[in-house]
DNA sequence: GCTTGACTTAGACAAAGTCCATTGTAGGAT
DNA sequence: ATCCTACAATGGACTTTGTCTAAGTCAAGC
C-alpha cells in the first residue's frame, strides 16, 4: 500500500526492501496475521528477510498507530492494518477465521459508574465468537 | 473452596493434595492469576507440586467449565474462578489490575445481520480499558 | 562516490506452554 | 488392613512466541 509507504517516508523512515515487503504483506481487508505468518509471506518475496526485522517493523508500525495488535485467540498476537477505522472482531471458534465488524450502540455507556471501581475508562474491545458458515455446516 | 471440591468429586475426580491446593489458590473475588502465579502460590502450600500438574489441573478445570481462561493482556493466559456468573473485564492499561464488571445492555443485539458474515454468533467478550485510581493519580 | 547513523541479520536468550516416560498414589476390591 | 491398578504427578525435554545484542550492511544526504 503506497499510501502507508508515503506516510512512513513522511515520518522519516528509511525505505528499505524489508519494510516495503512487510507493508505489502499487511494489505487488504480482514487481514489479521501473526508475526510468523507475516514473516513467511515476506520471505516468499524477499528470501533473506529475518525474523527480527519483521518483529521490529511490526512493533514500529504499532507504535506509529499504522497497525493494530489484536489478540483474539490465546496464542500469538495478530497484526491488523485496518487501524484507521475503529472496529471489533468476529472470530470462528473452530477455524479461527476473523472478520472486522462494526456493532451499533455505545458499550462505554453500558458500564455504570458503580461498575467502574474508580477507573478512568477510555476504551472497550469486543470479541464476538461463533461459527463461520463453513464450520457451522460441517 | 469446598463447593468446587465437592463438584469435582461428583465428577469422578480423584482428590489429590495437588488438586486441592490449586483449587484453594483459585478462590476469591476478582482473581485472575497466570499459571505461573498459581504455581508460585501452590508451591507455598505444597512445595513439591510441579509446573506440569498446575497446567494440567488448570486445563481440566477450564474443560469442566469451573474456571475461565482470560487473556486481557497479550502475555500469559489468566485463570478466573468466577465461571458461574457471566461477566466482562476492566483492565488498567498501566498496572494491569483487573476487575470483574457487569455492563448493562445486550451487545449481541448490537451486531446487525449485515455484520455477521453468515456466522452463528453465540457469545461476546468485552474488555474495558482505562486507568485504575492509583495509576490515574500518579 | 563517500560517509554515517539507521537498519538488518543470525543466533543466543527468555517466557509461556506442551508432551512424555517414569514414578507415585487414591480409592475400590478383597 | 492390604493389594491392585487406573489415574495422576513429576521432571525434563521440547515447542512456540517473542526479545535482545553484536556485528555487518546500506539508504540517503552531502
Ligand atoms: Mn481487524
Ligand atoms: Mn473475571
Ligand atoms: Zn470456521
Ligand atoms: Zn493501575
Give the per-residue pLDDT at B74.
76
- CATH number of the domain to which A108 belongs: 3.30.1490.190
Count of helices and strands (H, E) across chain B: 5, 6
Same domain, residue pair A25 and A48? yes
Give per-residue pLDDT as tens, B79-97.
999 999 999 999 999 999 9
Grid coordinates standing for A24?
A: 505489502
Q: What is the pTM of this model?
A: 0.91
Same domain, residue pair B55 and B115? no
Same domain, residue pair A63 and A95? no
Q: In Å, how far is A109's CA from the nearest CA of chain B?
A: 9
CB pairs under 8 A between A and B: 128
Of the candidates B50, B80, B110, which is a domain's last residue? B80
Give the per-residue pLDDT at B112.
97
Which of B130, B131, B137 should one mutate to test binding to chain A, selecting the residue with the greatest count of A CBs within 10 A?
B130
- Local confidence band at B71 (pLDDT 50, 70, 90 cut-offs): confident
Same domain, residue pair B103 and B125? yes
Same domain, residue pair B49 and B102? no
**Which domain does B40 fall in, by range?**
2-80
Averaged pLDDT, A85-108: 95
Q: What gap in Å lies between CA B111 and CA B123, rounded to an integer? A: 11
| Percentage, residues of chain B above pLDDT 90 | 86
* Closest CA relative to residue B25, chosen from B50, B46, B51: B46
Same domain, residue pair A17 and A75? yes
CB A93 within 8 A of CB A57: no
CA-to-C1' span, B97 to D14 (A): 33
Q: How many domains does chain B have?
A: 2
Same domain, residue pair B45 and B95? no
pLDDT above 90 (res A85): yes
Same domain, residue pair A109 and A60? no
Residue nearest to nucleotide C16 (CA to C1'): B76
DSSP secondary-structure letter at A40? H
> Cα-atom radius of gyration of chain B, to the nearest Å?
17
Lowest mean pLDDT among A87-96, A99-108, B3-12, B29-38: B3-12
Amino acid at each position: 500500500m503506497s499510501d502507508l509507504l508515503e506516510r512512513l517516508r513522511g515520518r522519516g523512515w528509511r525505505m528499505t526492501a524489508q519494510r516495503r515487503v512487510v507493508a505489502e504483506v499487511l494489505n487488504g481487508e480482514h487481514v489479521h496475521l501473526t508475526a510468523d505468518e507475516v514473516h513467511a509471506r515476506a520471505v516468499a518475496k524477499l528470501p533473506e528477510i529475518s525474523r527480527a526485522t519483521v518483529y521490529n517493523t511490526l512493533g514500529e508500525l504499532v507504535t506509529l498507530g499504522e497497525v493494530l495488535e489484536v489478540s483474539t485467540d490465546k496464542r500469538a498476537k495478530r497484526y491488523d492494518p485496518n487501524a484507521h477505522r475503529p472496529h471489533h472482531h468476529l472470530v470462528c471458534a473452530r477455524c479461527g477465521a476473523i472478520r472486522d465488524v462494526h456493532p451499533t450502540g455505545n458499550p462505554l455507556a453500558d458500564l455504570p459508574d458503580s461498575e467502574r471501581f474508580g477507573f478512568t475508562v477510555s476504551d472497550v474491545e469486543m470479541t464476538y465468537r461463533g461459527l463461520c458458515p463453513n464450520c457451522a455446516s460441517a
